[in-house]
Amino acid sequence: MTYHPDGKTPAPTIGVPAGPDGARGRRPGRRATAGFRLGLAVLILLAAMVAFPGLFTGADPNAAVLEATLRPPGPGHWLGTDQNGRDLYARIVYGARPSLLIGTTAVALALAGGIVVGVVAAQFGRLVDQLLARSLDVILSVPGLLLVFLVVAVLGPGSGSATVGLAVITLPGFARVVRAEVITLRGSAYVEAAHGFGWTRVQVIVRHVVPNAVGPVLALGTVTLGAMIVAGSSLSFVGLGPQPPTAEWGAMLAGSRELLGVAWWPAAFPGAAITASVLAVTAVGQHLQRRGDGSTR
């Protein structure tokens, strides 16, 4: 603040007006938008890797060259090689598909199941609501990791069983959000009007209730996706995800943990890929959640 020569009266300051947080020229929304754009760009790049890995590298991710064992990053191998002489860049590119699809498919299955369970619980009577609520409580009472291990033990190690296990532990949260939204919406004016026009309950649910109830749960799903990517990589790290020699980021971390004293790159780059994916998903998810809440932060 600038003062007049008398030292008492503050002089008006001409320039950039103060923001809502009192800091002159600071624009918090701009930082959030930049994070969203960067996260969206990373997600588009990852989606391209998942769909078309051959566009990013022509190397075979499983080709082992013993003479090239543990070569550091350089012109011949951009990210170096692992303990079997396999190109790390190619393995990270091809590992994007199993690493990301486990978490993405788990969230998609949990979303679909949560929408169905939440709508049925809210719309089909107190008895059905209580039965489904108690079933969800049973799932939530079991530690998530233990429940995933149980599913994998029954179905066997692999991408499919890891995906199902993660979907099971994620579904109750989505179902509860949908149930709360449906309970709020079923007393709204347009739902009452639809019933008054003679629409059946199923027609009202499909055309009015579900489209208006899924918004909050979709925003929650984008935020949850980051946690599911980490969880999927964690399962692969302990050997319960895709099996060797499939390139997968968590499995690559597991295979490199004994090499940290000799070579840092086999662990650093898969870890960086997981971190970048989670940060990108979280940035986009938080942006969508703020927009859904009508927040300007």
- Note whether residue 12 is domain-resident: no
- Note whether residue 83 is domain-resident: yes
Is the pLDDT confidence value at 113 over 60? yes
pLDDT band at 266 (very low <50, low <70, confident <90, very high): very high
Number of folded domains that form the chain: 1
Domain assignment of residue 218, given as a range: 31-58+77-293
- Note whether residue 84 is domain-resident: yes
- Note whether residue 10 is domain-resident: no
- Note whether residue 4 is domain-resident: no
- Note whether residue 266 is domain-resident: yes
The DSSP string of 176-221 is HHHHHHHHHHTTSHHHHHHHHTT--HHHHIIIIIHHHHHHHHHHHH
Q: pLDDT value at position 293?
A: 64
pLDDT band at 32 (very low <50, low <70, confident <90, very high): low
Condensed to tens digits (0 to 9), the pLDDT of residues 190-205 reads 777 877 877 887 888 8
Tell me phi and psi for residue 246, to 5 degrees: -60, 130
Q: pLDDT value at position 16?
A: 40
CATH of the domain at 141: 1.10.3720.10
Any idea of the CA torsion for 32, 34, 38, 40, to the nearest 10 degrees? Answer: 60
What's the chain's average pLDDT? 85
127 contacts: CB under 8 Å, gap ≥ 6: none
Is the pLDDT confidence value at 129 over 50? yes
- Note whether residue 68 is domain-resident: no
76 contacts: CB under 8 Å, gap ≥ 6: 68
Is the pLDDT confidence value at 152 over 70? yes
Written as six digits, the tokens of 244 are: 């060797």
- Note whether residue 202 is domain-resident: yes
Q: pLDDT value at position 21?
A: 45
pTM of the model: 0.81
Hey, CA dihedral for 184, 190, 196, 199, is it positive or negative?
A: negative
Which residues face 10 on adjacent strands? 3
